[in-house]
Chain A
């Protein structure tokens, strides 16, 4: 391990100690009321309790897996749809112009309104959450894919055309790889949105999931429960982020190393 890496890990540990230690200290000394602000020890107790005895809605693993299922399916569907529609509209100028006001209008809608709608239509099961998560993901990925397609270097396209590429071949071997940088950049944000979609959907109405557990804790004034739910979500997001970075490194291996990446390595 390099010296630099060691420094980074050390500083990260220090941040952890200061934030959670400070929190624990202030609440133990009653400078801050643990009833309203929770307490790290209480959060850990709640987490242990959930793992040992489950939540009021069944095993904690069930809640996590339900939320994950919703987020992952939503993420996959939203990404696929976003890339597809983004590339299509990026290629077909006419269609993009026609649909532009509708896309902007739908994008401007508060998502929670849509969440209500999906629950009415699809019920309290995971379907409505998948659709809500997918909807959130779609717009993030769509705008990036669309922009990526628009930014494709005209020279590359012309070159491929002269070399004999058909329109489909141009899309496959020039447009999509070229937009990939943009699309992958959006995936980092998009997975966050997928989790938001899943949790918001659960809060609006569900039988299982972390959102349900958090709402229930909130309704019982159990601050530690709310924080415990947040920590689980945070951990999931970190793992997902790591996976997406792996994917990014694989798909974008051709890129010259940027200054920032060189410094991080």
Chain B
């Protein structure tokens, strides 16, 4: 699996196939037990400077204000406090949160917290943005709005994105390329190029287009087997003791 500079790559696959692990390997948070991960041709040996990560669950520091959270990246990298705070303010404006600088994360809605996390990830101007089901916990409408904003922001600086998701529609609407992973030992099953033109406009609209439906159908064919296999495996594990109980 290769991701080109500036490419938006979505990864779909059944639960537990190693999608998230892949991201931690690229980020340098974990070491691969087999195989190699290379960024810009160099094998990953630690946390790279050009990488940002948006986690599935909230990773904001609850004791820091919104502004403080966004300013963390530059501060950790040794930027002077004043410029870090100015940058953070700019980024908050860009994600539509001007005026919320002094709030604490728990005072914000789920969607707003995601915006803060997005600003905190982008402020380091990453060349690689790793996203692990970032909008998974949001309701459908908020998710659509966040996806649109992500595309707009991505378009401005064009980092390479690896976007892990369960949601095939989300994957197709956002990405240039969708990677389907197999169940069990997570390997790449197939790679689909998404030839929908950009800018794509609203992700709510795009899914009704004919080409979108074709792609969805095609990728789902590939994904379905894996999902079924993964489900059968977890189901057989958890069902077995229950039937035993019924019999005895």
> Residues on A close to B: CB < 8 A?
153, 155-156, 158-166, 169, 173-174, 177-178, 180, 252, 254-256
Residues of chain A within 8 A (CB-CB) of B72 are 160, 163, 165, 173
A156/B59 contact (C-beta < 8 A), A161-B47, A163-B52 known: yes
Given contacts A255-B62, A256-B106, contact A160 B29 (CB under 8 A): no
* Min C-beta distance of A73 to chain B, whole Å: 29
Q: List 17 A-B contacts (CB under 8 A).
A: A156-B61, A158-B29, A158-B59, A159-B55, A159-B59, A162-B27, A162-B29, A162-B51, A162-B53, A163-B52, A163-B72, A165-B76, A174-B61, A178-B63, A180-B63, A254-B104, A255-B106
Contact status A164-B53, CB under 8 Å: no
A166 CA to B72 CA, complexed, in Å: 12
Asked whether A164 and B62 contact (CB < 8 A) given A158-B55, A159-B55, A173-B72, the answer is: no
Contact size class for B? 20 to 34
| B binding-site residues for A, Cβ under 8 Å | 24, 27, 29, 47, 49, 51-53, 55, 57-59, 61-64, 72-73, 76-77, 104, 106-107, 120, 124
Bound CA span A224–B29, Å? 65
Q: Number of residue pairs across A and B with beta carbons under 8 Å? A: 63
Q: Check B62–A159 contact: CB distance below 8 A.
A: no
Q: Are A164 and B76 in touch, CB under 8 angstroms?
A: yes
Q: Contact at A162–B52, with CB atoms within 8 Å?
A: yes
A153 to B58, CA, bound (A): 10
Main secondary structure of the interface of A (DSSP, over half): helix
CB distance from B58 to the nearest CB of A (A): 8
Q: Nearest residue in A to B24 (C-beta to C-beta)?
A: A158
B49 in complex: contacting residue of A158, A164, A180, CB < 8 Å? A164
Assess the A164–B29 pair: CB atoms within 8 A: no
B61 to A177, Cβ gap below 8 A? yes
Q: Is the CB of B61 within 8 A of A164?
A: no
Contacts A173-B72, A180-B63 supplied; 5 other A-B pairs, CB < 8 Å: A158-B55, A162-B29, A162-B53, A163-B73, A178-B63
CB atoms of B59 and A164 under 8 A apart: no
- B63 CB contacts on chain A under 8 angstroms: 177-178, 180, 252, 254-255
Task: Say how far B70's CB is from chain A's closest CB, in angstroms.
Answer: 10
Known A-B contacts A163-B120, A164-B124, A256-B106; the reply to A155 vs B55 at CB < 8 A is yes
User: Which residue, of A159, A166, A177, A178, has the highest number of chain B Cβ atoms within 10 A?
Assistant: A159
Inter-chain contact A169/B53, CB cutoff 8 Å? no
